[in-house]
Amino acid sequence: MEIIVLIKQIHDPTRLRVSSQGRLVTAGVPLIINPDDLRALEEALKLKDSLGARVTVLSLGPPEAEEALREALAMGADRAYLLSDPAFADPDALATTYALGSAIHKIGLPDLILAGQLSGHGISAQVGPRLAEYLGYPQVTNVSALEIDNGSVLAKRVLEESYLEVEVALPAVVTVNSAANLPRLPHGARIMNAYQDPPGSERFVVWTARDLDLEPQKVGAAGSATQIRATTVPEPKGPPEMLTGSPHEQARALVGRLRAKNLV
Ligand X SMILES: Cc1cc2nc3c(=O)[nH]c(=O)nc-3n(C[C@H](O)[C@H](O)[C@H](O)COP(=O)(O)OP(=O)(O)OC[C@H]3O[C@@H](n4cnc5c(N)ncnc54)[C@H](O)[C@@H]3O)c2cc1C
CB closer to other proteins, 170 vs 243 = 243
Question: Does residue number 96 form part of the binding site for ligand X (CB under 6 A)?
Answer: yes
Residues 124-153 that bind other proteins (CB under 8 A): none
From the list other proteins, ligand X, none, which binds 13 (C-beta under 5 to 8 Å, kind-based)? none
Q: Closest approach of Cβ 215 to ligand X, in Å?
A: 18
CB closer to other proteins, 1 vs 191 = 191
Residues 179-218 that bind other proteins (CB under 8 A): 185-189, 191-195
From the list other proteins, ligand X, none, which binds 188 (C-beta under 5 to 8 Å, kind-based)? other proteins
3-state secondary structure the chain: CEEEEECCEEECHHHCEECCCCCEECCCCCEEECHHHHHHHHHHHHHHHHHCCEEEEEEECCCCHHHHHHHHHHHCCCEEEEECCHHHCCCCHHHHHHHHHHHHHHHCCCCEEEEECCCCCCCCCCHHHHHHHHHCCCEEEEEEEEEEECCEEEEEEECCCCEEEEEEECCEEEEECCCCCCCCCCCHHHHHHCCCCCCCECCEEEECCCCCCCCHHHCCHHHCCCCCCCCCCCCCCCCCCCCCCCHHHHHHHHHHHHHHCCCC
Residues 42-71 that bind ligand X (CB under 6 A): 59-61
Binding mask 172-211 vs ligand X (x if CB under 6 A, - otherwise)?
A: ----------------------------------------
Question: Which residue type occupies 147?
Answer: E
From the list other proteins, ligand X, none, which binds 74 (C-beta under 5 to 8 Å, kind-based)? other proteins
Stretch that binds ligand X, among 86-94, 134-142, 151-159, 187-195 (CB under 6 A): 86-94
Where do contacts with ligand X occur on this chain (CB under 6 A)? 6-8, 34, 36-37, 59-61, 89-93, 96, 100, 115-116, 118-119, 121-128, 228, 231
Q: Which residues bind other proteins (CB under 8 A)?
A: 67, 70-71, 74, 185-189, 191-195
